Chains A and B, each alone.
Chain A
Amino acid sequence: MSEKVLMKGNEAIAEAAIRAGCRHYFGYPITPQTEVAAYMAKRMPKIGGCFLQAESEIAAINMVYGVASAGKRVMTSSSSPGISLKSEGLSYLAGSDLPAFVVNVQRGGPGLGGIQPSQSDYFQSTKGGGHGDYRMIVLAPASVQEMASLTIKGFDLADKYRMTAMILADGTMGQMMEPVELGDVEVKDYDKSWAVTGTKCARPHNIVNSLFLEPEELEKNNFARYERYKAVEENEVLFESYLMDDAEICVVAFGISARVSKNAINEARKQGIKVGMIRPITLWPFPKAPLLAAAGHCHTFLSVEMNMGQMIEDIELAIRCKRPVRLVNRVGGMIPSPEQVLLAIQDADKGGKAS
């Protein structure tokens, strides 16, 4: 039975993680994601789980590495500067093919930046962040409901592909309250015979490791990992298409930017402008195919994001630069207003008609 409850985005993540079978949480305090830790601190001891406040973000991600090595579901959460610190661990998790779930409730940067919402860790999360060739599945919720459902999805995908799944939210998503429906979660069993659970002196020892000094072997590992990534790209792309059927202008936005954009699109439609939106739900894998298809009937793309233009590069690549992509942005903790997006849509409409 599902019940509808009013929750903060951060709390929804925590509760969904517990329902997805996560019994280990490690974190270090940082605004604006502290509710995740607070929720876990309260709940975990009551359900036989483990909440542990680590001495640093670095320690937290390495505790995650330990639990993941043992084959159990585990998570950590943080905000931008903390994710930078965790990036070493994210690279090691990838190099050792361990499933993990990580939440980034972004704030403005670079450096200590601010504590207001931002989307400026797009590059960091979709292009690496840590060293080496690796990917993470990056999920971008645009509602409290999605904070919960994408958490559940994230745990499943992490296990399925033996990699890190990350929720890339922002301060708004973390802090805002909305009704959310939480049901029971069916946790699928995945083969974890690679995990270190003790040999019982009955099998050769398992080794969780990212060191391969023979270049041939390291190359082979990288190739094998990218075969898995290819499967993710083929099977796990998620996006929402909004009023795209007859659209001549395509807005691309995720998270809170997508919600703002939706208001602007509705207003523009009232004015007779044929505009729609493709909202990537997975930022990696990026919804390249629907964007390329949209380039067939849209004369202009608008990338609405809260950074200096990061996703815009992926849009340009996806549509192979066939159409102009304009950046509509605010940064530093500022959120674009529906009016700003509407003006950009109107401007694109005029430009499109002129050309």
Chain B
Amino acid sequence: MIVFQKPKSLCDVPLHYCPGCTHGIIHRLVAEAIDELGIEGETIGVAPVGCAVMAYNYFACDMVEAAHGRAPAVATGLKRADPSKIVFSYQGDGDLASIGTAETVHSATRNENITVIFVNNAIYGMTGGQMAPTTLPGQVTQTSPYGRDVNHCGYPVKISEMLSQLEGPEYIERVAVNNVKNIRNAKKAIKKAFQNQIDGKGFSLIEVISSCPTNWGLSPEKALQWLEENMIPYYPLGVYKDRSAEKEAAEA
């Protein structure tokens, strides 16, 4: 009896992620959702620039590599080219919340019928640990060596809160992958984000609070602890917008 196996939607190749990085978990959750919904053959993924840049080698569906921050625009093109396809982007915080903020906001406000997986680990990982738009106040990084000084470089961008103020998007939820309970919630949210697209409901973004042991300078275990004690209080988990649920509640 098989009790555990690799999702069909993940390729059988070694991932390049650092030991203890939670990208592997998030990849798996996305692949499981695609498997369970039976959409692999119709799905097109868009990879970012950042740590997940080589996600195109890991997901078994058709994949496109976008320029830095432009994944939502590329996904828009793909979806408009063939609305019957299921299109998702997988992006980090630098990609989605800094250089690609305009593409993020406008694909959301158009309620583009795509699914966005937003991995927030408060740092630029691929380039060696620089300050991200989501780096916490006081957090030490390579480019904020004395801690992020909000008077000098401003405050972190809270994407879920920000996007939920727009009329456009269908679904915005923030989850985390630091423990089993949160991982199960994250899976549920990601699957819902794909289901929303299948149902033609529009733009769904799942912000996944994630860790970066390498660039935080912590062991994998300590990193998860730091995430729980520092990230989650600043980035509270939960559903920020669920238009269909709000509509149903209003009608009831």
Contact = CB atoms under 8 A, between A and B. Distances in A.
A209 B67 CA distance: 10
Interface in B62-109: 62-67, 70, 73-82, 85, 102-103, 105-106
A144 interface: no
Given A62-B67, A70-B78, A205 B60 contact: yes
23 contacts: A24-B80, A54-B106, A55-B102, A58-B102, A59-B106, A60-B73, A62-B66, A62-B70, A62-B77, A63-B74, A64-B77, A66-B73, A66-B81, A67-B78, A68-B77, A70-B77, A70-B82, A71-B81, A89-B67, A196-B44, A196-B63, A197-B85, A198-B41
Nearest to B47: A209
Interface in B108-157: none
A197 B81 CA distance: 10
A205 B77 CA distance: 19
Contacts of A72: 81-82
Contacts of A63: 73-74, 76-77, 80
A211 B65 contact: yes
B80 A199 contact: no
Contacts of B70: 58-59, 62, 65, 89
A199 B40 contact: yes
A197 B82 contact: yes
B103 A196 contact: no
Interface residues of B, number: 36
Given A70-B78, A198-B44, A205-B11, 18 more contacts: A26-B77, A58-B70, A59-B73, A60-B73, A62-B66, A62-B67, A62-B103, A66-B64, A70-B44, A70-B82, A198-B62, A199-B40, A205-B62, A207-B64, A207-B65, A208-B65, A209-B63, A211-B54
Contacts of A92: 66-67
B96 to A, nearest CB: 14
Given A88-B67, A89-B67, A205-B62, A50 B80 contact: yes
Given A199-B61, A205-B62, A66 B76 contact: yes
A198 B105 CA distance: 27
A69 B64 contact: yes
A200 interface: yes
B44 A62 contact: no
